[in-house]
Amino acid sequence: MWKIANKDLYLFFSDKKALFLSLLLPIGLITLFAFAFGGVGGEEYEPSPVLLQYTDEDQSASSISLIASLDSIPGIKLLEVENAAGKDKIIKGDRIAQVVISKGFENALKDAQNPELPMELRFDQSRAMEVSILQNLLAGRVAAMEGQFRADDGVESIVAKTFPGMPKAMIDSIKQQVQNNETENSSSIVMSSIVGEEEANWGLIQAIAGTAIMMLLFSVSAIGASIIEEKEQGVLKRLLQSPIPPFSILGGKLIAACAISIFQLTIMFVFAWVAFGLDLMINPAGTIIMILLTAICCAAFGVLLASVVTSKRQADSLGTIIILFMSGIGGSMIPLYIMPAFMSKIAVVSVNYWSIQGFYDIFWRGLGVSALWDNILVLIFYTAALLGLAFFFFRKNIMRIE
C-alpha cells in the first residue's frame, strides 16, 4: 500500500511543469475573481462609472440645473450628444442610456396637472441593473426640482393673498411640507427600451453564447491533447516515419477539431431555438459566419495547446488555466458590465469576448452582417496568429522526436 502511494506521489511531483500549472490554476482563479468582484484594494477600489449620455433640447435654467445635479453624483459620468447619435450608440452597444430633455421641460415642472414630463430615458434592457440606478437617481433629482417649483410658486401666491405679513420662517415651513408632498406625487419620466425585441431574452443570449464558447474551448483542447497521447504511445513517431508530410498530421487534427467545433456550436444554437425559442432567422448569414469563425478560432487554439506542451498532464492543466482565464475576462462566466473598468478593457484579448459580442449584436441588438466586421476581422487575426504559433511549435516537437 505504501509503495503504491509512494509511486503515485513520485509521478505527481516528477513533472515539475505540470505541478506548477496545477498550483497556478487555483491561485490564478482567486486573483481573477478577486479583481472581478472588487475585493482587491479595499477602500481604494472604485467601481466603473456609469456613462450617461444626455441631450438638452430645452436649454432652460431648470434643465441646466438638472444636468449639473446629475454630474455631481459620484459614479456617474455625463456625455453630451446629439439626439440621434446618442440613440445610435445605444443600439450598437457602445452606451447604455441617454437622457433626452425636450423643449417645455421647465414649464412642465411647474404644472401640477401634468402627469408626464417631456423627458425620456432611453436604455439598453440588457443593462437593467445600471439603468435602474440611473432611473432612481434621475427621478429623485427631478422630483425634488418639481416639488421646489410648485411649492415656491403656489405657497408664495396663496400666502400673499390670504395671509399677508406671515413670518418668513412659517412660510418656509409650509413650503417644505408642500415640497415633500409634491415630491411623492411627482410626474413620471418616459422610459424607452430601444435595444432588444419584446420576445428577446438577454439572459438566454448570455447563457448560450458564453457557455457554448467556453465548453467548446474545453472540447478542442481535448482534441489537441490527443496529439500528446499519440506522442507518448509512439504513434506519432510511426506517423512521422511514414510518407505522410509532418504538417499533414497537424492539419488533420485541425480539420477534425474544426468539424467537431462547428457541429457542437450548431447543436447548441439549435437546442436554444427548439427549447427556448431563440430566433435563429433574425440574421442567418451573420449567425453562420460567427459560428464558423468561432469554431475555427477555437480549433486553432486546441492545436496550439498540443504544440507547446510535452505531456498530457501539462496539456490538461495549461488548457484549463487559459480557458478559464479567457472565459472569465471575456464575459463567459461574468457579464462584463459587472467588472471593474480595467478588467472590461483587457477583455478584448479574449476570443470569448469577440464571439460573445458578435452574437449579442445579432440576437439582442438585431444588427446586420455589416455591424460584425470588427468581430470578424479580430477572429480571423486570432486564428492566423494561433495557427502560425501552432505550426512553429509543432516543428520544434517534430525535430525533438526525430
pLDDT level of residue 339 (50, 70, 90 thresholds): confident
Domain with CATH 3.40.1710.10 in the chain: 50-195
CATH topology of domain 50-195: abc type-2 transporter like fold (3.40.1710)
Q: Which of 144-148, 302-306, 353-357 has the lowest mean pLDDT?
A: 144-148
Query: What pLDDT does 382 receive?
Result: 94
User: Whole-structure pTM over 0.85, yes or no?
Assistant: no
β-pair type (97-101, 76-80): unpaired
Tell me the pLDDT tens digit for each residue of 156-186: 554 455 545 555 555 455 445 544 554 444 4
Residue 21 has pLDDT above 90, yes or no: no
pLDDT of residue 379: 94
pLDDT over 90 percentage in the chain: 9
Give residue 25's pLDDT.
52
User: Which of 122, 120, 129, 141 is closest to 48 using CA atoms?
Assistant: 129
- Beta strands across the sheet bearing 76-80: 76-80, 50-56, 97-101, 116-124, 188-195
Residue type, 127: R
Distance CA 217, CA 211 (A): 10
Helices (H), 15-104: 16-36, 61-71, 83-91
Give the residue with greater pLDDT, 145 vs 332: 332
The average pLDDT across 294-298 equals 92
**pLDDT-based confidence at 36, cuts 50/70/90?**
low
User: How do residues 68-121 score in pLDDT, each as one tens digit?
Assistant: 888 888 778 888 889 888 888 888 878 888 888 888 887 877 666 666 778 888
In contact, 117 and 188? CB cutoff 8 Å: yes
Task: Give residue 42's pLDDT.
Answer: 45
Q: What is the pLDDT of residue 179?
A: 47
Residue 327 has pLDDT above 60, yes or no: yes
What pLDDT is recorded for position 182?
47
**Average pLDDT of the residues of the chain:** 75
Give the pLDDT of residue 297. 92
- pLDDT computed for residue 292 by the predictor: 94
Percent above pLDDT 70 for the chain: 69
Provide the pLDDT for residue 378.
Answer: 94
